[in-house]
Amino acid sequence: MPQGQHVILDGENLLANHIVNISNVSMVHIENVHFTRVSTSEKAGCYTTASSAKFGFNFVNCKFSSCDYGLKVSTLSGYIRNLFINKCVFFSNTTYDLDSAGSASIIIGSRFESACPALLVRCGGIIQECVFKYTQNNGVAVTVNGNAVARGEAIITNCTFYCTGIGGVTAISCNNLVGPVITNNIIHLAQPASDIPVSAARASYEDYNCTNVTVNLLTGPHSLNATDPQFADAANCNFRPRNPLVLRGGMPDFSGNPTQIGAIQSKYQFVSKARAANLGRFSIFR
């Protein structure tokens, strides 16, 4: 299927159940599918469940919109394992964009844009290069929970949180059983004098982040507090930062080059001038 096109599975708000229900199977790969319009409470555009350990659930370039839950993974004993989400878009959902009980959830390069909590990850995992344009008031954008059985490490890196909701918004919340690693993110909140970028009872590592808040400051010594990233066009989801302090990046990599803060928006966003030059044109200069 050509890039950008999707097979549409439309519940037309008439279904009393999930649009797609995946039960007791392993190795599922779904690509270029748009799940939309199931408004029944507790029902999802796509739902996965298992009564014994099942592995390998991939969602690539999918869309989840206008559902009660966009994508929901059963909480039944954590039997769904290895959830991988890449380049997916979640928008206009009601209860959660994504409710994931799968262990080792890997969520990369995806966008969450609903007036509901974006992400509930119950067993840790990696959240990388994602954009959260969070519009709900009085709530949490991303919640990472664990318990005595499932307390996997949560790593949140190179993400952009642009929270337009007001009235006590928290961008990232983790409980005391999950020690998160939170690094190289941009967290821009609507009320910087009261909102909370990170609420974590126990953080393993928190550094090299940028936030515009003036209270509830990030504690990492290399974090940029009270700093406006100067997004290129946030209203139209262009979150490329223009502030030179942010463009300088976080901790240098092994070659001494700065790493990126925030989600990657374009291929050449941080390319050096030397690499951007057209070397073929140099021969015409004398």
- 86 with 61: CB under 8 angstroms? yes
Task: Give me the pLDDT at residue 281, please.
Answer: 42
Q: Looking at the predicted structure, is the pLDDT value of residue 274 above 50?
A: no
Nearest to 115 by CA among 88, 143, 95, 87: 95
| Average pLDDT of every residue of the chain | 82
Taking only the tens place, the pLDDT of each residue in 73-110 is: 886 666 888 889 999 999 999 999 998 876 678 999 99
> Do the domain assignments include residue 155?
yes
Task: Read off the pLDDT of each residue in 105-117 and give the average, rounded to a whole number.
Answer: 90
- 213 with 198: CB under 8 angstroms? no
> Do the domain assignments include residue 1?
no
- 134 with 160: CB under 8 angstroms? no
DSSP letter at 177 equals T
> What span, in angstroms and rounded, lies between the C-alpha atoms of 215 and 192?
7
Element (H, E) at 36: strand 33-38
Nearest to 57 by CA among 18, 21, 25: 25
> Do the domain assignments include residue 146?
yes
Phi, psi of 180 (to 5 degrees): -80, 155
- 210 with 227: CB under 8 angstroms? yes
> What span, in angstroms and rounded, lies between the C-alpha atoms of 182 and 127?
10
Tell me the residue type at 3.
Q
**Number of structural domains, the chain?**
1
Q: From the centroid of its chain, how far is CA 95?
A: 16
Q: Token digits for 210?
A: 């940028």
* pLDDT band for position 283 (cuts 50, 70, 90): very low
Q: Looking at the predicted structure, is the pLDDT value of residue 284 above 80?
A: no
Residues 46-78, buried b or exposed e (16+ Cβ, 10 A)?
Answer: bbbbbeeebbebbbbbbbbbbbbbbbbbbbeeb
**CB contact set of 229 (below 8 Å; sequence gap of 6+):** 186, 188, 210, 212, 239, 241, 242, 243, 246, 261, 262
Task: Read off the pLDDT of each residue in 133-153 and give the average, rounded to a whole number.
Answer: 77
> What span, in angstroms and rounded, lies between the C-alpha atoms of 151 and 219?
23
> Do the domain assignments include residue 2?
no
What's the whole-model pTM score?
Answer: 0.86
Which range marks the domain in which residue 203 is found? 7-284
- 157 with 134: CB under 8 angstroms? no
Task: Give me the pLDDT at residue 122, please.
Answer: 72
> Do the domain assignments include residue 212?
yes
Range with lowest mean pLDDT among 170-174, 189-193, 257-261, 282-286? 282-286
* pLDDT band for position 249 (cuts 50, 70, 90): low
> What span, in angstroms and rounded, lies between the C-alpha atoms of 258 and 250?
6
